[in-house]
Structure 1
């Protein structure tokens, strides 16, 4: 009888601890400072340091972004993904934008667990892959950078073509 009472108490205790609340699946916006300090992004700084963007391309980006003050870059990324788009393309694009002196308030990085996470651009952008890089002009998608076009060395020209 004591064993039965103990088993019932354990079952009640275990079920009382379970939650039926939905998990928050909203994307989290990260600043450059957070990117360099967030544990899931430990690879980010190392990849940025190894990449050197083409100076002509950097100048083109600087000119294009200066001329179009309503233009911004939105990057959606899954930090736990070990794919080359996340581990290489994303930090190389960021390094290129930084070298072009693009104001980081015009670059939004959204950390996501999956393509289905909620984000503020859902009415305009439907994500099918991560990472996803979009250039918006006055809130409208102007261009995107696709991982399929990335060759391990052309991140700078891909983002330059998107912002021009």
Structure 2
């Protein structure tokens, strides 16, 4: 009986999110440059399990925020859990991410790792990092800024999709 109640609640939640996404899509038809509508669309896509689509659309939202001359450090796209952690996925929109492609490191999205429980604590921030040279992506890794330094937790294919990066982050956290 409990499973049936859970299934019904999950179905209702999915229907509500689907309806909200339709409202956002309609609003975007009349206000296509509204960065907040694009941001909300990203969150709804992520919540609906369309994580890659959310990440892809976050790049559109970033462009709309830049065009509107509105600065945000990041957009929280969504959350997922492991048996030990709650992990918030943030699409970064700092100066490096807002700048034109150049040489150096850009961190398109990050994973803020929290303990579970009534009073969660932030324990780590892991970044998906892209290394640029001559305006082209040449490397990618999972890394973290640590007290003025940097830790690299492993190279990944620069063309990796979100699910691959997410899996790698979960593997790093399991160590």
TM-score for the superposition, normalised by structure 2: 0.30
Higher Rg of the two aligned structures: 1
Higher relative contact order structure (alpha carbons within 8 Å, sequence separation ≥ 6): 1
TM-score for the superposition, normalised by structure 1: 0.31
More strand by share: 2
More helix by share: 1
